[in-house]
Structure 1
């Protein structure tokens, strides 16, 4: 099969992404299972409660800049030093702001001392997370191999540390510290890759003229992202506060398998998006065809994997996490289909950003956030984590797809999504067309 240089680049990028993700997630799942079995549902639940608590405030730290960075670096690579220097400064400012807000919230809600200390410790990941700026650069130039190498470095070193902690029978807090160290490891990997392939970050500089543009473009995504983070993470916080941390452990365990389902659609989204951006600029007639194929393939990849995981839930849980996690089985059978909503949302969201209509995105996400909180508030006391599982599916599908009906500018995106759900399986054979030069 003869491939153009562009096609070879995409195929290589997809191969690196898939291979790296598969290795990283397999290793993370293996070690995660060992940690979960060692800690037990209650302590494992507390650890996930801490992670979810900080995640709710992470949108302040990133200020919705990730996709804007990728788009601008893809379109204006010659200005990368100004873009990256400015975005780095903004990220550090917003990370500091987010950390202060976390500290205030802990005081306001009078969280117990141990949990508060763990949340403040894990909050340091808001600063190490600024390394994602480097990740976004490699994504923009379609060079995922550097991302994969950095993440594999983090995975293997981090796994070794966690196994050592298991061997010495370390308490819960050490596993949370290990999670913090993981984020520092991957950030250092991105930095070393950037330094060896591009050059010193000292070339970056702050350009105040870019600040208004970046903030203006990012602001709708901040509102949107805040709502997304809340409806993706608030369930674990509400379960922990309204029931107990043990139930959080069961619920979070199902989420680990959902992450496995989502990885392939997300790799497709991250890899194909830069190509679609260039296609839109250079060949608008083929862009329309390829974005339809893009949404369909992403969605049906998630549907196929969701059905498989839901069907195998009993064996997946009992043979990995053990019988102490059997309450997770019905949760996973439902939660597996969250991946479909995420795929629809991610693919549609990228089209919204590429077509510069993201200023309305916050509306659907705020509606989804309100729906999530209200449904969880009423269903968790009566139906527990099963009720919260159904809320997750309803919220993700509503926010990522059906809420587009309420926004005229997004009607075309919704048409693509509905086609993907109903007839998108026909597009699976056209993957090559999607990446054709």
Structure 2
């Protein structure tokens, strides 16, 4: 499997995401302008609350499935079936906990939150995408997924223009999980993958696979907390309008986060193979990815810092002027987010799962504490600073806590010091791809 193949798969996924993110972002801006801070803030709050339960439908198994399929292709169907069953149990647990939450906490949006938690249980089937990624067959799902998301985003646009009904928007958001999950399962079963049905699994296999993913599950929960907690705390400490101003800025910042994850996913199989076949090439590829992503994030952050006021005014109108300062701070979190996409893969390949949890817990605790201190006095600006600092701790600072993770810090530092030489192979491959 060549670097060229990894870049080609990345290009396909990024092209799709560019189209979909453009539509999603357009709808977000439209909702902010048409619905105003009240509706936009409520929508962002509901998504944040439901998002806290999403890791339970993943169960930390995405990248583990890719790794095991690459290492043991003959047992690919066995691993995939076991992973789906484990994730379905996790989805049921998420629904039960969501029900407990709405019974304990009184909130006018509780019905929407529980509805979305229930519908997003279909994302348990998203693990099938990682099966196709491991097989380097990303186009198998891309076309149908693109059609579904284009239709749903178009419907969201129509709903917003006709009054921005919160009920319909949440239904469409949940329908996305239902349709994509169902289509993934149908595509896999109908693709001559009869082993999925015939190959028996056992409770022992579920327990063994769940044990492999437990650190990444807890890490995902902690990571989701420090990703979503700022908007939840803003709503409860300041008010729903503060969530709207923060969400407008965060949307402009977070819209970029998907790209490093896509690139890292596309190179996961290749990194796993090189780890065992050619360690020097493995380290070189890690450093190349770190350089490309970190440099991209740095350029993005500096550019956004200078154009933030004009950008917010242009997109959201002057009603959201408070979002400009938040954006100029929040965007610098991308430097650590981009780098972490590669760090996450390295921790999995090196079997250092518990350190993924440690890093996420450090980030979550830092974010909660800083939000509690900074939000009452500085509002959304304080939440932005809390986000940047917590990402820095979770993606870089924790590396120095243990000798095992210090190895990645050394790889990272070498990559930064040698970035001109490391960029040359990537530029060469991109030129070949263009031709």
TM-score (ref. length: structure 1): 0.92
Q: For 2:203, what is the secondary structure of its paired residue? A: coil
Aligned residue among 231, 235, 243 for 1:236: 231
Query: In the alignment, which residue of structure 1 is the partner of 2:75?
Result: 79
Aligned-residue offset at 1:151: 3.3
Please tell me the root mean square deviation across aligned C-alpha atoms, in Å.
Answer: 2.2
Listed one character per residue, the Cα deviations across residues 29-79 of structure 1 (whole Å, up to 9, x for unaligned) are 112221222211121111111111111122233221122122112222221
Query: In the alignment, which residue of structure 2 is the partner of 1:162?
Result: 156
Whether the aligned pair in 2 keeps the contact of 1:299 and 1:420 (CA below 8 Å) is no
Whether the aligned pair in 2 keeps the contact of 1:224 and 1:362 (CA below 8 Å) is yes
Residues 1:338 and 2:333 aligned together = yes
- Structure 2 unaligned runs (5+)? none
Q: For 2:230, what is the secondary structure of its paired residue? A: helix
Aligned residue among 127, 133, 139 for 1:139: 133
Query: In the alignment, which residue of structure 2 is the partner of 1:348?
Result: 343
Aligned residue among 11, 14, 18 for 1:15: 11
Query: In the alignment, which residue of structure 2 is the partner of 1:25?
Result: 21
Q: How does 1:30-69 map to 2 (within 5 A)?
A: 30-69=26-65
Listed one character per residue, the Cα deviations across residues 362-407 of structure 1 (whole Å, up to 9, x for unaligned) are 2222122111111110110011110110110100011111111012
Structure 1 pair 45–240 and aligned structure 2 pair: CA distance change class (3 A): same
Query: In the alignment, which residue of structure 1 is the partner of 2:257?
Result: 262
Q: For 2:256, what is the secondary structure of its paired residue? A: helix
Query: In the alignment, which residue of structure 1 is the partner of 2:185?
Result: 191
Q: Provide the C-alpha distance between the structure 2 equivalents of 1:37 and 1:204, rounded to a whole number of angstroms.
A: 52
Whether the aligned pair in 1 keeps the contact of 2:298 and 2:335 (CA below 8 Å) is yes
Q: Provide the C-alpha distance between the structure 2 equivalents of 1:323 and 1:426, rounded to a whole number of angstroms.
A: 45
Query: In the alignment, which residue of structure 2 is the partner of 1:216?
Result: 211
Whether the aligned pair in 1 keeps the contact of 2:347 and 2:355 (CA below 8 Å) is no
- Structure 1 unaligned runs (5+)? none
Aligned-residue offset at 1:434: 8.6
Structure 1 pair 305–141 and aligned structure 2 pair: CA distance change class (3 A): farther
Aligned-residue offset at 1:206: 2.8
Across the two proteins, how many residue pairs are aligned to each other? 430
Q: Provide the C-alpha distance between the structure 2 equivalents of 1:28 and 1:158, rounded to a whole number of angstroms.
A: 10
Whether the aligned pair in 2 keeps the contact of 1:69 and 1:136 (CA below 8 Å) is yes
Aligned-residue offset at 1:411: 0.4
Q: For 2:52, what is the secondary structure of its paired residue? A: helix
Q: Provide the C-alpha distance between the structure 1 equivalents of 2:182 and 2:323, rounded to a whole number of angstroms.
A: 35
Whether the aligned pair in 2 keeps the contact of 1:165 and 1:174 (CA below 8 Å) is yes
Q: For 1:209, what is the secondary structure of its paired residue? A: helix
Q: How does 1:79-158 map to 2 (within 5 A)?
A: 79-108=75-104, 110-112=105-107, 114-158=108-152
TM-score (ref. length: structure 2): 0.92
Listed one character per residue, the Cα deviations across residues 336-386 of structure 1 (whole Å, up to 9, x for unaligned) are 111111112111111111111222322222122111111110110011110
Structure 1 pair 336–204 and aligned structure 2 pair: CA distance change class (3 A): farther
Aligned-residue offset at 1:149: 2.1
Query: In the alignment, which residue of structure 2 is the partner of 1:173?
Result: 167
